[in-house]
C-alpha cells in the first residue's frame, strides 16, 4: 500500500519527506522485517488542538498546538515540546518519527513522540506563557501520562515550562505525577546532568568519531550553529578537550575568530544578551558565510534543514556532528559522503538528552536519585556502546552512519511490532 498521507504533502527536502527517504534507504537491510516498514511511515496518532487564552490586555488569543505519537511498539512515547512560529504538523510528525529512531538506536524502552505550539514565545508575557502552557497541557492530557507519553523541553521550552506541565497534569488527575514530563527543575523531580546532557552526548560521540578518523581534538577548529543549551554545552566540552571554537551562529548573528573564542566570555555574553551577535571577542560575518568557515568539526545545533546540497558543497569540516534534529537534507548527505566528510547523525549524536530524560523518569518512579557523576558515567557508557554497534553495522554493510543507525533502530522497532502482532 502507498505511504501517502491525506493530511500531509511532503517534498523531498521537507522534514517528513526527509524522514521518509531515510526510511526507504534502510529497507534493503531489514530482511524479512521489511514487510512491516509501512508502520514506520505512518504516525500512530496525531492530535491538533486549539489553545485559547486570555492575554494580559483582556483580549482572547488562539494558538495551534500539536502532539504526535509516531510509534509506541517499544514503550510509551517520548519527545520534546517546542514553541516556535514555524511549528506545523509535518514538522512535528518528522520530529516524532526521529524520536522513534533515536530511542531505539540507544535502546531506550520508549517509542517516539513530539509536540509543539505555533507561537513566538518572546511576544508573550510570563503569565501569558504560563496560561498557554497549562491550556495546551490540558488539551493533550487525554494522550499523555507517565506510562503513555512523556514530554520534555525542546526549542524555546525549559524546566519552568515542564514544571507548569507537570503541575497542570497533576491537578487534572488528582495526584503528584512527577513522571509525566522530564527536564523538570531539580526540586520537582528533575535529574542532575539533564541540562547539558544533549551537548554532552554530542561531545562523547564526536570524541569517539574523531578517534576513528585520527582527528586530534587538541587544537581542532570547531564551528557551532546554534548556541543554546546544546551548542554551548558541546562547545564547552570541546574547549576543555583543547579544541578552539572559531565560529558561531544563531538568530542574533554570525561571528568568527580563527584564534578561538574565550568560552567564559562568550557564555557570559550569550547569557546577558540572548545570543552570540555583538560578541566583542570575534568579528561579525555574513550569515551565509558561516558555511565557508575553515574548521575541522561542524556542529549544526539549531533547526532542521540547515545543511542543503548547496551548503554541503561548501563545508570544509572533516566531521559533522548533528546536535539539532534533522539538520541535513538527503541530497546534502550524499554530497558529504562523496566528499569524505563523516556525519554523525542526529539520531545518535544528540541522543544524550533523551537518555538522561530516561534516567530522570526512572528516578521519579523509584524516588531515588543519582549523583551527577553517576549520571554522566551511565550516559557515556550508553552512548559509546550504542555508537559502537552502529559503527559495526556501517562497516559490515559499507553504509553511512545514518543508514546504519536507521538499520539498528528500525530492526528493533519492527521486531517489537512483529512480536506484538496486530490487534485485533
Catalytic residues: 114
Angle, in degrees to the nearest 10, between helices 197-212 and 229-240:
50
8 Å CB contact between 32 and 26: no
Q: CA-to-CA distance for 202 and 207, rounded, in angstroms?
A: 8
Return the number of other C-beta atoms located less than 10 Å from residue 6's C-beta: 5
65, 133 contact by CB (below 8 A):
no
**Other beta carbons less than 10 A from residue 277's beta carbon:** 17
Nearest by Cα to 349 from 207, 242, 151, 190: 207
Amino acid at each position: 500500500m502507498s505511504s501517502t498521507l491525506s493530511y500531509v504533502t511532503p517534498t523531498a527536502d521537507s522534514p517528513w519527506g526527509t524522514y521518509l527517504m531515510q526510511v526507504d534507504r534502510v529497507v534493503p537491510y531489514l530482511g524479512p522485517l521489511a514487510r512491516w516498514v509501512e508502520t514506520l511511515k505512518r504516525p500512530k496518532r496525531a492530535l491538533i488542538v486549539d489553545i485559547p487564552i486570555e492575554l494580559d490586555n483582556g483580549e482572547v488569543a488562539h494558538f495551534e498546538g500539536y502532539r504526535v505519537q509516531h510509534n509506541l511498539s517499544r514503550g510509551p512515547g517520548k519527545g520534546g515540546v517546542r514553541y516556535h512560529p514555524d511549528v506545523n504538523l509535518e514538522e512535528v510528525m518528522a520530529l516524532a518519527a526521529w524520536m522513534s529512531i533515536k530511542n531505539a538506536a540507544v535502546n531506550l524502552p520508549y517509542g517516539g513522540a513530539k509536540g509543539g505550539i505555533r507561537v513566538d514565545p518572546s511576544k508573550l508575557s510570563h503569565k501569558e506563557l504560563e496560561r498557554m502552557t497549562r491550556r495546551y497541557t490540558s488539551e493533550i492530557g487525554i494522550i499523555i501520562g507517565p506510562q503513555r507519553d512523556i514530554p520534555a523541553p525542546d526549542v524555546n521550552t525549559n524546566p519552568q515550562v515542564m514544571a507548569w506541565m507537570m503541575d497542570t497534569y497533576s491537578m487534572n488527575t488528582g495526584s503528584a505525577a512527577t513522571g509525566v514530563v522530564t527536564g523538570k527543575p531539580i526540586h520537582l523531580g528533575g535529574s542532575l546532568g539533564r541540562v547539558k546532557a544533549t551537548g554532552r552526548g554530542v561531545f562523547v560521540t564526536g570524541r569517539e568519531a574523531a578517534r576513528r578518523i585520527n582527528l586530534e581534538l587538541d587544537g581542532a577548529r570547531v564551528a557551532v550553529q546554534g548556541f543554546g543549551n546544546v551548542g554551548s554545552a558541546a562547545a564547552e566540552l570541546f574547549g576543555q578537550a583543547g579544541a578552539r571554537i572559531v565560529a558561531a551562529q544563531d538568530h542574533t548573528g554570525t561571528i568568527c575568530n580563527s584564534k578561538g573564542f574565550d568560552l567564559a566570555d562568550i557564555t557570559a555574553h550569550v547569557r546577558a544578551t540572548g545570543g552570540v551577535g555583538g560578541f566583542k571577542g570575534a568579528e561579525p560575518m555574513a550569515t551565509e558565510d558561516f558555511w565557508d568557515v575553515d574548521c575541522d568539526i561542524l556542529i549544526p545545533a539549531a533547526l532542521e534543514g540547515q545543511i542543503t546540497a548547496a551548503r554541503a558543497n561548501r563545508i570544509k569540516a572533516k566531521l559533522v556532528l548533528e546536535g539539532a534534529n534533522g539538520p541535513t537534507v538527503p541530497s546534502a548527505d550524499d554530497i558529504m559522503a562523496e566528499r569524505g566528510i563523516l556525519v554523525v547523525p542526529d539520531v545518535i549524536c544528540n541522543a544524550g538528552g533523551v537518555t538522561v530524560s530516561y534516567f530522570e523518569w526512572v528516578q521519579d518512579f523509584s524516588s531515588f536519585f543519582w549523583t551527577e557523576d553517576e549520571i554522566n558515567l551511565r550516559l557515556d557508557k550508553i552512548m559509546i556502546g550504542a555508537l559502537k554497534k552502529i559503527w559495526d553495522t556501517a562497516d559490515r554493510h559499507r553504509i553511512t552512519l545514518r543508514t546504519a543507525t536507521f538499520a539498528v533502530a528500525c530492526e528493533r522497532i519492527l521486531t517489537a511490532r512483529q512480536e506484538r502482532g496486530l490487534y485485533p
